[in-house]
């Protein structure tokens, strides 16, 4: 397993937890629709790339699909548990397999699972 990838995903989990911790200190920030949408967008992309890496279908959601911000936060925590489990079990062969990113159509984007997972980690880092 790629140790740097594991480190990036451990950092992603820690950074997301710190993100939510900071918002808990300033709850008014979570009333801002753009912040709420950004938090959802980060999770949406994380879940999309994990589904792609697993070879599973992805279910799109919107921020309105969550009954509360606490529900969104709980889903973020579940995602990190699922991602950690996947990284513990994924094979080198799977990491080398090519996936096509379905939301990039023109031009199409095909890349190894390993690179796709790196992209997802960097995407979250960018938005934080």
* Confidence at residue 103, expressed as pLDDT on a 0 to 100 scale: 82
Cis peptide before 54 (omega within 30 of 0): no
- Dihedral pair phi/psi, residue 66, rounded to 5°: -100, 130
Over 80: is that where the pLDDT of 128 sits? no
CA 17 from centre of chain: 13
Integer Cα distance of 39 and 43 in angstroms: 7
Mean pLDDT (the chain, rounded): 91
CA 95 from centre of chain: 17
Give tens-digit pLDDT for 6-25.
999 999 999 999 999 998 89
Give tens-digit pLDDT for 36-75.
899 999 999 999 999 999 999 988 999 999 998 899 999 9
């Amino acid at each position: 397993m790629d140790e740097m990838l594991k480190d990036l995903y451990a950092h992603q989990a820690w950074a997301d937890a710190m993100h939510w911790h900071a918002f808990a200190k300033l709850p008014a920030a979570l009333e801002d629709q753009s912040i709420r949408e950004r938090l959802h967008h980060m999770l949406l992309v994380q879940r999309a790339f994990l589904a792609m890496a697993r070879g599973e279908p992805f279910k799109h959601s919107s921020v309105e699909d969550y009954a509360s911000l606490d529900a969104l936060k709980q889903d973020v925590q579940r995602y990190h548990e699922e991602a950690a489990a996947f990284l513990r079990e994924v094979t080198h062969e799977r990491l080398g397999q090519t996936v096509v990113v379905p939301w990039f159509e023109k031009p199409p984007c095909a890349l190894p699972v390993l690179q796709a997972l790196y992209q997802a980690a960097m995407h979250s880092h960018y938005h934080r």
